[in-house]
Amino acid sequence: MRRLARLAKIVWVAFRFGLDEFPLAGDPTGRWLRRARSLDLFGRYSAPRAVRLRRALETLGPIFVKFGQVLSTRRDLLPQDIADELAKLQDRVPPFPSEVAVAEIERAFGKPIGEIFATFDRAPIASASIAQVHFATLRDGHPAAVKVLRPNMLPVIHRDLELLDAAAGLVERTWSQGRRLKPREVVGEFAKYLHDELDLVREGANASQLRRNFARSPLLLVPEVYWDYTLTNVMTMERMHGTPISQVDTLRAQGIDIPKLARAGVEIFFSQVFRDGFFHADMHPGNILVAADGRYIALDFGIMGTLTDRDKNYLAQNFLAFFQRDYKRVAQAHVEAGWVPPGTRVDEFEAAVRAVCEPVFDRPLKEISFGRVLLRLFQTARRFNLEVQPQLVMLQKTLLNIEGLGRQLDPDLDLWTTAKPYLERWMQEQIGWRGLVRTLVAEAPTWANLLPELPRLAHRALAEDRLKRIEDRLEALVVEERRRTRTLRALAWLAAACAVGAFWLALRG
């Protein structure tokens, strides 16, 4: 019954905001419905379709808002107007009652809140669709931030995900563009990220890994996770002190060098991607503070991206080729990676990439929209049947966040000039003599164990190879002998038949 009631609400909201426009678009069988829509008797189509979609998701609640946020990152699938509008969704929802938060913590630890923390601020400092945060003090006096999941989220999420999947299947069947946009795959991707965010132990592990990666960094601070106070639905971290990065005027008044801060953000991003292959995939301004010494402070580690060495090498080659305007190398890298069909003409792909990228070079960030550049790149990808990699979609989302952050801090930042030296240094470390030395050092323990075994292994291999050749030769001789025997038998039978035939003819004569 609850599911039916929820489904009825979704249908009503969709009708109220005129979302029936989407499946009707391009459908020749829906002409009479489109005529009825053109009358707009209820004023449902007064706003643009993207605005109406955003408002509908906000009306349906926090899970749908978060779905809209994830959907906004799939610019390879969405029209530009919808992607731009969904990017405006803010994950700000009213907090749940403090009494409920306290009850959840006490239930998780099995003791009163006063026995867990020395102090606990019942007024939440931040609230989102999945959890909210309270300040507290540990029993040993350390200030902390306690993140608590909203209660009873799992059944609500499962119910809404089932309805989203059903709606995605309906879109695939009824909208002319539905199959190309792969809405069910998008829902599946969203479900994965959502379930990851529901496990605060996983988020704590992400934070710990990122903290280790930047342990001695002069650029980035990551809070320590207090594991004795962390469970699946409660996570306790070191309380960080800083100014929200969106408050640029305040930072400037504190003496922070804003252009330097913007350049540091670029270096942090490329360090996470190319050095570690492990990057914060939700780097919007709400998740970043700036410490008094000018270092970044990262918060909220529910969504992280990972890259393999192959991914990193592919990306570095492409970035460097872009910076050097070597579009032929960009095209060849895509073909070599197997991300475009093997029969793709490199010269045509090269020309298409050049048409996208050439207009943006030698321009400050304020004159470049990565959103538009990425949109054109994805349009080019569809034209050449490029296979979109999910891990690179996460990277694209992060790059868009970095663009927005950089534009806010220093519109005159030259992203290309800032990033190129770092990428060149990284490539030298990977494929130059430094990379060779590092590889030899990393493989030294394996070789140390293997070298004493080499003579015995070589002798065995040679012996096995010699015996194998003898066995093969004997088997070939046996086969040849069998073939000759069968041939002689056949000739003998033929000779006997001829003799009998001759004898019979002689009797007849």
pLDDT value for 178: 60
Binned at pLDDT 50, 70 and 90, residue 92 comes out as low
Count of Cβ atoms closer than 10 Å to residue 373 Cβ? 15
**300 noted as active-site residue:** no
pLDDT value for 146: 97
Of 223-232, 409-418, 438-447, the least confident: 438-447
133 phi, psi to nearest 5 deg: -120, 135
pTM: 0.70
Residue 215 has pLDDT above 90, yes or no: yes
Q: Which residues pair with 355 in a beta bridge?
A: none
- Is 144 in contact with 119 (CB distance < 8 Å)? no
Residue 206 has pLDDT above 90, yes or no: yes
Mean pLDDT score across all residues of the chain: 77
Radius of gyration of the chain (CA): 33
Residue 228 has pLDDT above 50, yes or no: yes
**DSSP 8-state assignment for residue 453:** G
Binned at pLDDT 50, 70 and 90, residue 329 comes out as confident
Apex 143 CA angle, 111 and 220, nearest 5: 125
One of 20, 76, 160, 282 is an active-site residue; which one? 282
> Per DSSP, which regions of 107-219 are E strands?
119-120, 126-127, 131-137, 143-149
Binned at pLDDT 50, 70 and 90, residue 496 comes out as low
User: How do residues 278-318 score in pLDDT, each as one tens digit?
Assistant: 999 877 777 899 999 999 999 989 888 888 877 777 777 77
Q: Tell me the three state secondary structure of residue 93.
A: coil
Q: What percent of the chain has pLDDT over 70?
A: 66
User: How do residues 150-170 score in pLDDT, each as one tens digit?
Assistant: 888 777 778 778 877 877 777
pLDDT value for 209: 97
Most confident range (mean pLDDT) of 310-314, 329-333, 386-390, 483-487 is 329-333
- Give the pLDDT mean for 85-113: 85
Residue 211 has pLDDT above 90, yes or no: yes
Distance CA 161, CA 176 (A): 23
Residue 449 has pLDDT above 50, yes or no: yes
